[in-house]
């Protein structure tokens, strides 16, 4: 080994030295950040060593060092190492904590030492009762229907009363509904309005109510949007439009609140197993409402058999969803505690990939890509008739 090193010229030693210093600083910083996501740093350092040797072999000049330094800088950006703030019993309000992501977030943050205010739609329901049993006494249950102005004001009074001289550090707007998944032409207007009330107007009103507390603490506003809020997805016209409005609202507030020291982040999860898709009883009710509100012409063109298959799409959502919510939990924690949080997080399988395809490929390719995942086992009646005539 000594003989080998003695034969290596000074440039290689410089490259290797820079690698060790840069990599060592990154790894030391990572050890301080227990909330960060795992990144293959060892593999990254190994690749940088190989790159350093290649630079030495091919660019025996100062240019080699420049190339290698740029590679080190890119690696540091990839590692995304940031200083994480201490929990220190920071207070956080979470809406929609009855089930799903909000429920798991309440338990997760309570376990980490946060003072959690869990807003629930039913304070006597099973979700609220489970939080009381499994969480610490720091956690408070709040009756909070985000479409009810009176309950929002009462929640504000309750939070300020319990905090006394303390500050509210974070607000997580998580409550949301999916509604019925169907073509935008088929969805009744009350579905659009209900989605906007819960997924957009509700979070806006909650944010406006609690923002004075966040400005005082220079805290964090986190809105749980959706992958459907960033890219168009078939059958999610009402849901996607409401989540897109929430994402835009987040982006605007991120710019406007920066002067107050408040950080704003939007979370765009991909498919995760929650109860947001509803139950068969709810699907039957939504289907009846849809059939009662479409015109005879539209019903004839699509056919009732096609409309009945839409429930199958909802029932299949869990089959393509992940059961591990930890990517969402970790991203929310990063948005809460990172000194410089991201403005957008995309936890979950294929979330970022779909966004990249939408942004950087022709629209026809993106439409083809989405059609492979959203294909229906049945086609509308009018199109079937047209195909039959064409064959004949």
Phi, psi of 83 (to 5 degrees): -75, 130
Chain-centre distance for alpha carbon 247? 10
Ramachandran bin of 140, using left for φ above 0, alpha for ψ from -120 to 50, beta for the remaining angles = beta
Q: What does 353-372 look like in DSSP terms, one character per residue?
A: HHHHHHHHS-HHHHHHHHHH
Q: Is the Cβ–Cβ distance between 228 and 358 less than 8 Å?
A: no
**Residue of 239, 302, 306, 345 with catalytic role:** 239
Concerning whether 239 is annotated as a catalytic residue, the answer is yes
CA distance 90 to 188: 43
CA distance 230 to 241: 9
Q: What does 140-156 look like in DSSP terms, one character per residue?
A: EEEE--TT-HHHHHHHH
Q: Is the Cβ–Cβ distance between 129 and 105 less than 8 Å?
A: no
Give the residue numbers annotated as catalytic, written as ranges. Answer: 239
């Amino acid at each position: 080994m000594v003989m080998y090193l003695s034969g290596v010229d000074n440039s290689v030693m410089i490259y290797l030295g820079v690698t060790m210093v840069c990599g060592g600083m990154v790894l030391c910083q990572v050890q301080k950040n227990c909330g960060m996501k795992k990144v293959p740093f060892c593999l990254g350092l190994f690749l940088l060593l190989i790159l350093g040797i290649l630079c030495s072999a091919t660019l025996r000049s100062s240019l080699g060092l420049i190339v290698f330094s740029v590679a080190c800088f890119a690696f540091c950006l990839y590692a995304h190492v940031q200083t994480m703030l201490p929990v220190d019993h920071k207070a956080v309000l979470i809406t929609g904590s009855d089930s799903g992501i909000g429920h798991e977030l309440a338990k997760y943050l309570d376990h980490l030492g946060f003072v959690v205010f869990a807003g629930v739609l039913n304070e006597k329901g099973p979700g609220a009762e489970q939080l009381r049993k499994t969480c610490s006494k720091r956690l408070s249950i709040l009756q909070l229907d985000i479409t009810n102005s009176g309950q929002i004001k009462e929640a504000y009074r309750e939070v300020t009363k319990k905090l006394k001289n303390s500050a509210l550090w974070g607000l997580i707007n998580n409550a949301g509904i999916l509604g019925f998944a169907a073509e935008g032409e088929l969805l009744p207007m009350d579905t659009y309005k209900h989605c906007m009330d819960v997924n957009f107007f509700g979070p806006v009103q909650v944010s406006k109510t609690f923002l004075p507390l966040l400005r005082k603490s220079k805290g964090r506003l986190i809105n749980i949007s959706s992958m459907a809020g960033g890219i168009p997805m078939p059958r999610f016209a009402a849901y996607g439009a409401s989540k897109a409005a929430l994402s835009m609202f987040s982006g605007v507030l991120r710019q406007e609140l920066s002067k107050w020291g408040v950080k704003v982040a939007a979370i765009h999860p991909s498919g995760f197993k929650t109860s947001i898709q509803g139950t068969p009883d709810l699907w039957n009710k939504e289907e009846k409402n849809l059939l009662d509100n479409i015109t005879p012409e539209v019903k004839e063109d699509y056919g009732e058999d096609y409309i009945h298959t839409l429930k199958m799409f909802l029932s299949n959502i869990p089959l393509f969803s992940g059961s591990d919510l930890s990517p969402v939990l970790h991203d929310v924690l990063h948005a809460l505690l990172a000194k410089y949080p991201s403005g957008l997080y995309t936890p979950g399988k294929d979330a970022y990939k779909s966004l990249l395809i939408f942004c950087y490929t022709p629209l026809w390719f993106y439409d083809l890509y989405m059609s492979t995942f959203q294909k229906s086992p049945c086609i509308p009646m009018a199109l079937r008739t047209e195909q039959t005539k064409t064959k004949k």
